[in-house]
Structure 1
Amino acid sequence: MDCHRAETYVLRELREHLSPTLHYHGLHHTLDVVAQAQLLAEGEGITDLEDLALLRTAAHYHDAGFLTTYQGHEAAGCELARRVLPGMDYSPAQIELICSLIMATRLPQSPGDLLLAKILCDADLDYLGRSEDFWPISHTLRTELEAHGSVVDDQTWNEGQVKFLSAHHYWTATATARGEANKQARLAEVRALLR
């Protein structure tokens, strides 16, 4: 596996070709997910170098489908991975694992029993349990959704936030320990806005 080449390729594509309307799902989000996946893998005791490399590749490619589509971007990301990763010495089994990790992040998330998928799912929504940047990041998501035709008033947006935060749960013990208390605090803040 030439992980460096695979990462360099997708980062260049994201940097040069992502729509500027992706205020939330931009390159910054991908880089954040990569960083959070590494921290969560460490917390979960993942030490196998191949597993770590495949998780890292999946994190880099998990939203690459936004290069070609907004709806169904996970499947489009898998198409990209299946197209380019064989040329970077990834085996068919490695590519399918990467795609299963990417598809697990589709909402509602469904990682099954695969720990690497649970880690990627938690990394993808890590901001929900962060006190320092939950509000700015949620604002970028609202701005992006509005840019793609989902204009909602404050009441409807906050009701949606309450529903999403209430339904969300972490898949790993590490993410739960890091983020659950902060997420509950953010949920209380959004509920307060609705009063």
Structure 2
Amino acid sequence: MNKLKTELSENLFYHTIHHTLDVYHCAASIAKEEGVTDSDLKLLLVAAIYHDAGYLIQNKDHEQRSCEMTRQYLPQFHYTKEDIDHICNIIMATKIPQNPKSHLDEIICDADLNYLGRTDFFSIGENLCKEMLAFGYIKNKEEWNQIQVDFMQKHHYFTPTAIRHNNLQKEKNLAKVQSKINY
């Protein structure tokens, strides 16, 4: 956590310690409603903490770097190879396009993109837009809005909890973004 606080690129406006903590808390909340407990909850929450740690090294394929970091650091905390493999599988599920293979994967995917279906969507999205502009992934707000619409139309939540809590607001957010585009 300290590395995420102090060593991330200053051009990361979205993939910050705040995003990591948001994903952690969302994962914990979804997991509680989904009935996840004990060792599975611990693995999920460790994966949430490490899921974007790879941004300390690089943006592209950061999930793989995140897994490398878990393999480097977690043995010091007495995690087994099997636990670390499981944590890495959870982390890799967050790679876009998301492809969860387990219930824990589904939870972290929903936690990672939870903001799409929240009322703070636009303020969080603004930080992602700034980040994408800073790295040259997009040229302007118009391109950003179109990417958002395309992404949100393809996205779906996986867990009953996220579907119940986020789908309606996500549809409202999508409609607002669509209204900004000149078709």
Whether the TM-score (by the shorter chain) exceeds 0.5 is: yes
User: Corresponding residue for 1:130?
Assistant: 118
Stretch of structure 1 that moved more, 28-37 or 141-150: 141-150
Q: State the secondary structure of the residue aligned to 1:194.
A: coil
Q: Which amino acid aligns with 2:117?
A: G
Q: Which amino acid aligns with 1:87?
A: Q
How far is 1:20 from its partner? 1.4
Question: What 5-or-longer segments of structure 1 have no aligned partner?
Answer: 1-10
* CA RMSD across the alignment: 0.8
Separation in structure 2 between the aligned mates of residue 53 and residue 175 of structure 1, nearest angstrom: 20
Deviations 1:53-110 (A, max 9, x none): 1111000000000011110100000000001111110000000000000000000001
User: Corresponding residue for 1:163?
Assistant: 150
Q: Which amino acid aligns with 2:97?
A: P
**1:81-92 mapped onto 2 (5 Å cutoff):** 81-92=70-81
Q: State the secondary structure of the residue aligned to 1:46.
A: coil
Separation in structure 2 between the aligned mates of residue 106 and residue 169 of structure 1, nearest angstrom: 14
Deviations 1:135-190 (A, max 9, x none): 01111001001111124223221111110110000010000000000000011111
Question: What 5-or-longer segments of structure 2 have no aligned partner?
Answer: none
User: Corresponding residue for 2:163?
Assistant: 176
1:189 aligns with 2:176: yes
How far is 1:120 from its partner? 0.3
User: Corresponding residue for 1:154?
Assistant: 141
Structure 1 stretches of 4+ moved >6 Å: none
**1:29-40 mapped onto 2 (5 Å cutoff):** 29-40=19-30
User: Corresponding residue for 2:94?
Assistant: 105
Separation in structure 2 between the aligned mates of residue 103 and residue 167 of structure 1, nearest angstrom: 19
Separation in structure 2 between the aligned mates of residue 77 and residue 191 of structure 1, nearest angstrom: 34
How far is 1:192 from its partner? 1.0
1:64 aligns with 2:29: no
Correspondent of 1:46 among 36, 47, 51: 36
Correspondent of 1:115 among 94, 103, 111: 103
Q: Which amino acid aligns with 1:36?
A: C
Separation in structure 2 between the aligned mates of residue 154 and residue 94 of structure 1, nearest angstrom: 42
Identity %: 44
Q: State the secondary structure of the residue aligned to 1:77.
A: helix
Q: Which amino acid aligns with 2:39?
A: E
Q: Which amino acid aligns with 1:56?
A: L
Any conservation in 1 of the 2:138–2:144 contact (CA below 8 Å)?
no
